[in-house]
Structure 1
Amino acid sequence: MVSGSGHHPPVTEGIAEVMIKDIKSGEGRGATSEVPLAFQTGRQPVDPVVLGQARRQMTMFGIFAIVVLAVLLAVWWSA
């Protein structure tokens, strides 16, 4: 149980023994829930060429958005 100040009560020896038994009884029974970062495949290393292309594309999109906004403001002010 967590107290109102956010601190956990100290673990007693009995609780520690139960936790150790639970951990030891679960060893070798299946895959672990944690995968080392080196083996995760969700994110590929960033290629500098691809990164440069993405930056160039975002810059062009930003310039395009500013131009469209400027044209819309010019049409609105002239109306």
Structure 2
Amino acid sequence: MVSSSGHRPPVTEGVAEVMIKDIKSGEGRGATSEVPLAFQTGRVPVDPAVLGQTRKQMTMFGAFALGVLALLLVIWWAA
């Protein structure tokens, strides 16, 4: 049960023992995941070609942004 503050109450010894027994009784029954669920990100691995394309796009955007900034500074100084 989750309290109104959103935090779970601490696990008691009895509950911990039941959890341990449940885990031990399930060992060896089925295939386990290679990566624990807590460490799975849900994201697909990044393709190096896509990463390179994104890097190129960000570089072009940065150059464009610097150009616009330089143009605005020149106009501001000229006024």
Same fold (TM over 0.5): yes
In structure 2, distance between residues paired with 1:60 and 1:45:
24
Tell me the TM-score normalized by structure 2: 0.57
1:76 aligns with 2:73: no
Structure 1 residue ranges, 4+ long, deviating more than 3 angstroms after superposition: 24-28
Provide the aligned length of Structure 1 versus Structure 2: 56
Rg larger in structure? 1
- Say what the alpha-carbon RMSD is for the aligned residues: 2.7
Tell me the TM-score normalized by structure 1: 0.57
Instruction: Give the percent of matched residue pairs that are identical in Structure 1 and Structure 2.
Output: 55
Q: How far is 1:36 from its partner? A: 5.9
**Within 5 Å, which residues of 2 pair with 1:14-33?**
16=13, 18=14, 19-21=16-18, 23=19, 24=21
